Amino acid sequence: MCCFSKIIKCITACGLIGLSTSCASLPGMGSAAVVKKANAVQFENAQGPVSANTSSAILKELTNEAGRREILERHLAFAQNVNRDSPLVTGNRLTLLKDGPATYQAMFAAIRAAQDHINLETYIFEDGEIGTTFANLLLEKQAAGVQVNIIYDSVGCLNTPAEFFERLSAGGIQLLEYNPVNPAKGNKNEWTLNNRDHRKLLVVDGKTAFLGGINISESYSRGSSSSVRRARNTADAKKSEAGWRDTHLQVKGPAVAEFQKLFMDTWSRQEGPPLASKQYFPKIEAQGDEIVRAIGSRSDSDESPIYLTLLSAIEHAERHVHLTNAYFVPDPELLKTLTDAAQRGVNVELILPGQTDSWMVFHAGRSHYAELLDAGVKLYERRGAVLHSKTATIDGVWSTIGSTNLDWRSFLHNDELNAVILGTDFSQQMNNLFAEDRAQSTPIDPQQWKHRSLLLRLKEWLAVRFEYWL
């Protein structure tokens, strides 16, 4: 269920009349100083900032084709202005995880191997077979002396019974409910129902991190290539239910400390109880050669670093922009950035859902298809699976994976978390995954789209009226 639907359910349950009509606004590219000439790009490794010569050598390795270094330096310089507290960290090993089964298997292995602590931050923690497996493993590790700390979102876990979390608490696990739906349980002076924690983060022993789009839910228990038959209402009323297509990332190396800082920051801002004394920031040696930037956006901040970083990357794109996203309800500046890129000759391709768990988000996104198609943007809708992935790869060197949708809610009202990765090898993995999804998608033909039915147009018109709140 999308966040908007759950919030409406919360409001009904609380007996409130409606949402606040005050609206925040997104920062534009003009809100930060445009970098005409690149400043020195600063990288870090396990020992801290590296020398200017080393930074220059890293950039040269990343951009070994003529003409690409200047463009990369320009957008990196802008991104550094936006992400002053998010360094580019070298020495990481990355594993790209496709869909729930592969992600859960890797997470379970990391949890079983935990020696010191486990920090989990999630939007949905569902009481089902997968959720119970997680709960049992976490309780087992807590009993063995590994401290487990969990942040879960109040709206995302609205359907999870209180008894589920009471069992975790009784086992010694530290729990923090993000922005409780019940104002009496709030830990802040201001009751901010509309601000949610949409992050999905697991940090184990301060050495391994997982992040991306995958919640703890039965929806992910099967991969995107599988489907099941489930009875609805009667034994004879059966409907095919597709698996969910999503992407997650496993990080090992010095960049894990940056994700750990973001977890700690959320715990502090939400006034969580004192954490048990553990080695949350151990010394980490280089594990590989991938370069990672951890970027966290906060709902209580006027800044939107993930949004501005993505806009900058698209604005400086030279060859291609490949976006895969679950909830596409773009603001005017993102639309303009995409269409401008296509019109200057960049190959801009978007893979979006062909089926979804929120018809309103689906049709609000479709209301923007005509403008994109007219500009030369190529659009595809994923078949046979519920697309929930949030990824991008640009010019074969810049990639991102995270929890951030391309909508107003993610950019304004949610705490979100993304990893930005620099490097051709990982970008090639991302492009291969994009090609797989594209092969299982239906291209949107511009001429056919112009002749879509009146009913579809009516749904788009209605849905777009609510796009700010979706």
Of 75, 198, 207, 368, which residue is the catalytic one?
Answer: 198
CB distance 148 to 120 below 8 Å: yes
Of 6, 75, 98, 200, which residue is the catalytic one?
Answer: 200
Q: Can you tell me the distance from the alpha carbon of 119 to that of 111, in angstroms, rounded to the nearest whole number?
A: 10
**Does 316 qualify as catalytic in the annotation?**
no
Dihedral of the alpha carbons of 358, 363, 368, 372, in degrees to the nearest 10: 80
Of 246, 395, 407, 415, which residue is the catalytic one?
Answer: 395
**Does 248 qualify as catalytic in the annotation?**
no
Of 99, 153, 197, 205, which residue is the catalytic one?
Answer: 205
Task: DSSP for 382-450, please give it.
Answer: E-SSEE--EEEEETTTEEEEES--EEHIIIIIEEEEEEEEE-HHHHHHHHHHHHHHHHTEEE--HHHHH
CB distance 352 to 387 below 8 Å: yes
Phi-psi label, residue 292: left if phi above 0, alpha if psi -120 to 50, beta otherwise: beta
**Does 197 qualify as catalytic in the annotation?**
no
Retrieve residue 466's tokens: 């609510």
**Does 198 qualify as catalytic in the annotation?**
yes
Q: Can you tell me the distance from the alpha carbon of 322 to that of 307, in angstroms, rounded to the nearest whole number?
A: 16
Of 75, 390, 413, 459, which residue is the catalytic one?
Answer: 390
Retrieve residue 164's tokens: 């589920």
Task: DSSP for 202-220, please give it.
Answer: EEETTTEEEEES--BSGGG
* CA distances in angstroms from 379 to 112, 226, 401, 457, listed in the order given: 42, 24, 20, 18
Of 117, 388, 413, 459, which residue is the catalytic one?
Answer: 388
**Does 413 qualify as catalytic in the annotation?**
no
C-alpha triplet 331, 121, 266: angle, nearest 5°: 75
Q: Can you tell me the distance from the alpha carbon of 102 to that of 226, in angstroms, rounded to the nearest whole number?
A: 14
**Does 331 qualify as catalytic in the annotation?**
no
Q: Can you tell me the distance from the alpha carbon of 470 to that of 467, in angstroms, rounded to the nearest whole number?
A: 5
Catalytic residues: 198, 200, 205, 388, 390, 395
